[in-house]
Amino acid sequence: MKKILILNWKQFPDTKDQADSFMTGFTSFIKKNKLEALVKKHEIVLLPPYIFIDRIMDIEAKNVSIGAQDVSRFNQGAFTGEISSKMLKSLGVKYVLVGHSERRLNFKEKNEDINTKILNCLHYNLKPILCVGENARNKNENSNSFRIKKIVFTQLNECLKGIKEDEIQDVIIAYEPVWAISSSANSKVADVSDVETMLINIRFWFETRFGKDKALNVKILYGGSINKDNILNFKSLFINDGFLVGKASTNLKELGSVLTNLKKL
Ligand code: PGA
């Protein structure tokens, strides 16, 4: 099964010209550095701001899928400023990020809203990438601490409510402890074995609900301040379906180095 690399541009770049030249540069970087095989081995999913999706589709690098960073919880109607699942589908978008901590925090999104978005995405054959993770850790807490597991399991319970057994393989989970995300104050990269424990816990959550075989098909990624240097730490990660990269994916040089190092994993 292909590993997944999600590139979340967040609210960058500032102009359409910068978006165009990033994509052109990205394509030639892949060629120049002979990274075609790596790109083919991964499902690379670029999440540009909505407004750049259509033009990026036109100059889309080969083997790069395009996703959206969010979606409306309403399918249709008078909801000024909103973008629906059906609109995204009509553009050729394949993936939609939902429940990112920046949206939970800045736009007060609740698990219930995220659940509606996920069900709508699945209805329109879009693959939701659900972000889960705790805001902070108390001293001595780890991925097996009751409080931490309860937060993540509650997010999974509430955000995936009503999802059918045959839809589960279309959902991607990104474990992103909020304290590890670059936009958090004093963010730090999580410890690899601790990440592994949480990935196992998440897989276990799927196993108890959908059985072992179905659970094995769910992609569970890690995200949080991944960059060209620390991605190598994840070499020892036994369970590794891929990564979600934010800030480091907004700079072509940095992203190039992330890809070059990914080749070594
Ligand atoms: P980061 O962001 O890599 O900048 O920490 C990850 C994300 O978009 O969630």
Looking at residue 27, its pLDDT comes to 86
Q: What pLDDT band is residue 228 in, cutting at 50, 70 and 90?
A: very high
Known active-site residue 176? yes
Please say if the pLDDT value at position 1 is more than 90. Answer: no
Closest CA to 46 of 65, 62, 29: 65
What number does the ligand 1 atom closest to the CA of 184 have? 5
pLDDT-derived band at 163 (thresholds 50, 70, 90) equals very high
Ligand 1 midpoint to CA 260 (Å): 19
Residue 62 confidence (pLDDT): 65
Higher-pLDDT residue of 1, 210: 210
Please say if the pLDDT value at position 60 is more than 90: no
For residue 42, indicate whether it is catalytic.
no
Give 105 Cα–ligand 1 centroid separation in angstroms: 14
State the distance from the centre of ligand 1 to the C-alpha of 114, rounded, in angstroms. Answer: 19
- Closest atom, ligand 1, to C-alpha of 176: 9
Distance 56 CA to ligand 1 centre (A): 21
pLDDT at 35: 87
> Six-digit token pair at 226?
């991944």
Q: Is the pLDDT of residue 218 over 80?
A: yes
Report whether 192 contacts 207 (CB < 8 A): no
Stretch among 40-44, 96-100, 202-206, 212-216 having the lowest mean pLDDT? 40-44
Q: Where does the pLDDT of residue 36 fall: very low under 50, low under 70, confident under 90, or very high at 90 and above? A: confident
Identify the active-site residue in 102, 134, 176, 196: 176
- Distance in angstroms (rounded) separating the CA atoms of residues 244 and 199: 14
State pLDDT tens for residues 206-217. 999 999 999 999
**Smallest Cα–Cα separation from 62: which of 23, 104, 107, 11?**
23
Residues near ligand 1 (Cβ within 6 A): 8, 100, 176, 181-182, 223-226, 244-248
Contact 142, 184 (CB under 8 A): no
Q: Whose CA is nearest to atom 7 of ligand 1?
A: 246
Considering 100, 102, 109, 196, which one is annotated as catalytic? 100
Determine phi and psi for 106, rounding to 5 degrees. Answer: -85, -25
**Residue closest to 128 by CA, chosen among 209, 221, 63, 2:** 221
Q: How confident is the model at residue 188 (pLDDT cuts 50, 70, 90)?
A: confident
How many angstroms is it from 247 CA to the middle of ligand 1?
A: 6
> What is the model's pTM?
0.96
Ligand 1 nearest-atom number relative to CA 131: 9
Digit-coded pLDDT (tens) for 106-137: 999 999 999 999 999 999 999 999 999 999 99
- Percentage of the residues of the chain whose pLDDT score is greater than 90: 82
- pLDDT higher than threshold 80 for residue 173: yes
Atom 2, ligand 1: residue with shortest CA distance: 246
